[in-house]
Amino acid sequence: MTDVQALALGFLQGFSEWLPISSTAHVAVGLRLFGLSDSAAFGSVFTAVSQLGSVLAALIYFRRDIAAVLAKPGFMGQAVEADQTDRRLLLPIAAGTLPVVICGLLFKDAIEGPLRGMNVIAGSMISFAIILAWVDWRSTKQRTLGSITLIDGIIIGIGQAFSLIPGASRSGTTITAALAAGFERATAARFSFLLSLPAITGAGLYELIRHWEAVMAAGMVRPIVIATVTAFVVGWASIDLLLKFLRRNSMTAFVLYRFVVGGVIIMLVMSGVIAP
């Protein structure tokens, strides 16, 4: 992998991680277009580790929120006055993390194997776009974080478990679940980000430790560092863009984008440009 390829893949990772458009789909297509492997020993590792750049961007962007949730004034250098709303998020986040952890362990082989096929990814891009469009249209979108309950956390956490299907999108499935529960769009996105941090961080560190020797032997440290740093910078901008966008707009743009990308993937596979 060249530095330019790592930069491009890091951009794709950072751009798509927090938007409801599936970073896995974008990175998988990028790897194939560059003629690189998307096997479990490479593609999933590269994706999981480079996600840590996006995670770091979210940790810094939401440092006040995180400090308030943990109820530790001065956390990460910020003086925080944690109110009851902030503190009550901790239990829903913890409960909402369990489904994705359990499903990730149970279905790990399938997720890293047959489910990484481009046909599955394209199908997920389109099918979950339909669900997102319908839920966004039907949702009341009135609830704020102050009304969140443990049950909400579990429901949105189940949505996060569906994101294990490549192409579904972690932010897409969790925002969809939050909208279905009646939360405002921007609120749904904010809780989605906070909920995803433990799972993404854990997955990235697990894959890094698990495949560290293989990464070193393949000379992948430099490309992964480049991709991770790029994902951090672009990921920060992506978070800010989405939160501002959802305060005034619906999910329609992302739904249409998912349809287009899903269709393009199908055409690329059918034309033989990328392997299925």
Stretch 200-224: mean pLDDT? 79
pLDDT of residue 179: 95
User: Regarding predicted confidence, which is higher, 113 or 174?
Assistant: 174
> For the CA atoms of the chain, what is the radius of gyration?
18
Per residue in 1-19, pLDDT (tens digit) is 888 999 999 999 999 999 9
Question: CA 265, CA 222: separation in Å to the nearest integer?
Answer: 29
The residues, ordered by sequence, that sit 6+ positions from 274 with a Cβ below 8 Å of its Cβ are 29, 32, 33, 118, 265, 268
pTM summary value: 0.88
Tokens of 101: 């952890």
Q: Where are the domains of the chain?
A: 3-270
Question: CA 12, CA 212: separation in Å to the nearest integer?
Answer: 23
Query: If you ran DSSP here, which 8-state letter would residue 98 be given?
Result: H
For residue 218, how many C-alpha atoms fall within 13 Å in the half-sphere facing its CB? 17
- Of the chain, the end-to-end C-alpha distance in Å amounts to 21
In this prediction, residue 237 has a pLDDT band, given cuts at 50, 70 and 90, of very high
Q: Above 50 in pLDDT, residue 82?
A: no
Query: Average per-residue pLDDT in the chain?
Result: 86
Q: Above 70 in pLDDT, residue 37?
A: no
pLDDT of residue 44: 63
pLDDT of residue 176: 96
Q: Above 50 in pLDDT, residue 75?
A: no
Q: What is the dihedral of CA 241, 243, 244, 248, to 10 degrees?
A: 130
pLDDT of residue 233: 95
In this prediction, residue 70 has a pLDDT band, given cuts at 50, 70 and 90, of confident
In this prediction, residue 140 has a pLDDT band, given cuts at 50, 70 and 90, of confident
3-state secondary structure of 183: strand
